[in-house]
A and B are shown apart, each in its own frame.
Chain A
Amino acid sequence: MESYRRNFRAFLAFFTPSFAWLGLFFFVPLGIIWLYSFGETEGLTKIRLTWTLENYKRLLEPEIISLFWRSVWLSVISTAICIVISYPIAMVIATAKAKWKPWLLLVIILPFWTNLLIRTYALLNILGTRGRLNDLLHWLWSAGDRALSMIGLGDYHLLGERFVPVKFLGEPAGVMIGLVYVYLPFAVLPIYASLERLDRSYLEASLDLGASQWRTFRQILLPLSSGGINTAMVITFIPMLGSFLIPDLLGRGQVDMIANVIERQFKSGNDWPFGSALSLFLLYITFILLALQSFHAMRQRKREEARG
């Protein structure tokens, strides 16, 4: 690497365009909503910068707090489900034969390349009370009912008198299914990467020293892949927390998350200052999470470097 001074013109030629672009179309816009978050609406379209803290105070209204709370727990649970499902998936890919690995990875990544809107819409079709998922549940119910009848318990209707379709749309469950569905590939990749890097002889050493498979998993594999799990948690949690389309389409206005309320401030509610304050709040949460994650990753990297 060379010093920028040695060839200053070349440096400027490479540096200026992207710096200017980012400044103008990324940081200036963020700066504006930062200013707006201290402003007040005047009339229909005018906003006056009064340095009021009113917009931030409104974040403490019970409605908004419960909105945050809902967004956070929906994202936390969905992240947890994602990790639990993606860990075994990543294990399978990481230990598959070399010629299979790229294909197994492709199976998981391909949906991620498919349009988010289309995937959400596809889910919308499935999750309806008369959709395929309820068909499947109905079939399972009938099979279970028949099985119970066969062993002579049919008269008790243990599974209910008849099948009642489960309502997913407009319910937290539907939104969570959507979040897991969309962000699952995000979680698999970092876990896969950390398992792939892991030296298998750690596991063999544990087994050799007398540990069972389960013990080895808990005491060696899990701690040694914690970096991948952390990354997976952060990169699924952040977009989940800020997701708009999934709660919009699958929540049907009943299960709003932060982004839905932000959108309303700008599109129909016309309260830009409050919308700006909400956006910045979301941004700050993101920054805190990223800082924690990079701090953790840095410590991990230092340790690995020292290990040589």
Chain B
Amino acid sequence: MARERRAPAGPFDYSRKLSLRLVFIIGAIFLYAPIVVLVIFSFNDSRRGGNVIWKGFTTKYYEKAFNNDALVEAFINSLAIAFISTLIAVILGALTAVVLWRFRFPLKPVFEGMVSLPIVIPEICMGVSLAVFFSSFGLYVPRDMPFPLNLTNIIIAHITFSFPFAAMVIRTRLNSFNREMEEAAKDLGATEFQVFRDILLPHMKPGLVAGALLAFTLSLDDFVITFFTSGPNTVTFPIKVYSMVRFSVTPEINAASTILILITLLVTFLAMRFQSFEEPRQ
């Protein structure tokens, strides 16, 4: 045989067992098929939604989506919320991570638990409680506030659930910090602040970026909490799509969804590029 003979599989090379591979492949098809169908049918030239019959290729629903002012506005809102909430979430997350990594203090496990609560409690509980909080304290931002201040409620909600995630990621990065570097810097005459700025912060950078990307996608992704904290004038992209889906299923939604999927892919791709860029240096 011309082909190179492959080494026979060892007894625990599960990845080379046909039956297990098949489960993996079927699992992957299960995960991707619906999305692929959605993307394909965003190019379907059919007025009826529901993705029933293929009627030919068209990009007109992309045009339609781009010309749908409400959809575009929702999209801009989503991006604005994601950017602003990410910025603040990363700062809060970094502070939290440093506190937990650096200091010993009374009731520390309690604080740790408090910080991780927003990660684990059901979204609906958080959405409901924030909605009740904003309305019963009269904290709903008035409708006529200029952009992006009108989004304040949603931004606050997003920061609240995303900063603990960012803190987790940044803390993992901090754990790999060699404490002797800090001592070496102090030994060479650096002040507390200089140590933070010149030694710790550069080390944290990959964690900050990873945390930011996570916070960004979480914000862009969120439906339930936004659903409870948004008002009629502050519609985000997922909320808009949701109301469109409830109203009727049209290819326009497929087109809009495809665009959001592309953005998510891009962010994921950036995250991975950044990680593989940083890793060899460690």
Contacts and interface: CB of A to CB of B under 8 A. Distances in A.
Interface residues on A, range: 35 or more
B245 A249 contact: yes
B238 A126 contact: no
Contacts of B253: 121
Interface string A172-215: 00000000010011000000000000001001100100000100
A204 B15 CA distance: 16
Given A11-B105, A113-B264, A126-B34, A85 B27 contact: yes
Interface string B232-253: 0000001001100100010001
A125 interface: yes
Interface in B1-45: 11-16, 19-21, 23-24, 27-28, 30-35, 37-38, 41
A111 B260 CA distance: 13
Contacts of B12: 95, 200, 203-204
B46 to A, nearest CB: 13
B130 interface: yes
Interface in B99-144: 99, 101-105, 111, 114-115, 117-118, 120-126, 128-133, 136
A271 interface: no
A117 B132 CA distance: 24
Given A32-B132, A96-B15, A266-B131, A104 B24 contact: yes
Contact of B122 (A3, A26, A93, A239): A239
Contacts of B84: none
Interface residues on B, range: 35 or more
A2 interface: yes
B200 to A, nearest CB: 12
Interface stretch (B55-63, B65-73, B202-210, B221-229): B221-229
Nearest to B39: A122
Nearest to A84: B23
- Interface of chain B: mostly helix, strand, loop or mixed: helix
A80 to B, nearest CB: 15
Contact of A33 (B120, B128, B238): B128
B13 A1 contact: no
A47 B102 CA distance: 44
Given A95-B12, A115-B238, A244-B123, A18 B129 contact: no
Given A88-B24, A93-B15, A130-B50, A238 B132 contact: no
Contact of A213 (B11, B103, B249): B11
A125 B30 contact: no
A10 B192 contact: yes
Given A118-B38, A286-B122, A92 B92 contact: no
B103 A2 contact: yes
Interface stretch (A52-60, A141-149, A153-161, A276-284): A276-284
B95 A121 contact: no
B223 A116 contact: yes
A166 interface: no
Contact of B33 (A14, A47, A114, A126): A126
Contact of B99 (A3, A11, A200, A276): A11
Contact of A121 (B16, B224, B257): B257
Contact of B128 (A19, A91, A110, A275): A275
A259 B227 CA distance: 13
Interface string A42-85: 00000100000000000000000000000000000000000001
B189 to A, nearest CB: 18
Most chain A CB within 10 A, of B52, B102, B122, B132, is at: B122
B120 A238 contact: yes
B272 to A, nearest CB: 8
Contact of B228 (A30, A86, A119, A266): A266
Nearest to A131: B51
B268 A92 contact: no
Contacts of A280: 125
A104 B143 CA distance: 47
B194 to A, nearest CB: 13
A7 interface: yes
Nearest to B220: A115
B74 interface: no
Contact of B11 (A125, A128, A207, A276): A207
A140 interface: no
B160 interface: yes
The 7 A-B residue pairs whose C-beta atoms are closest, nearest first, are A242-B122, A29-B133, A29-B129, A4-B105, A122-B34, A96-B15, A122-B38
12 contacts: A2-B102, A15-B95, A21-B160, A25-B160, A89-B24, A89-B27, A97-B15, A113-B264, A242-B124, A244-B124, A263-B124, A280-B125
Given A25-B157, A132-B51, 13 more contacts: A11-B99, A18-B95, A18-B163, A30-B129, A86-B27, A118-B257, A126-B33, A181-B30, A181-B34, A204-B11, A204-B12, A239-B123, A275-B128
Interface of B: 11-16, 19-21, 23-24, 27-28, 30-35, 37-38, 41, 50-52, 91-93, 95-96, 98-99, 101-105, 111, 114-115, 117-118, 120-126, 128-133, 136, 156-157, 159-160, 163, 167, 192, 217, 220-221, 223-224, 227-228, 238, 241-242, 245, 249, 253-254, 257, 260-261, 264-265, 267-268, 272
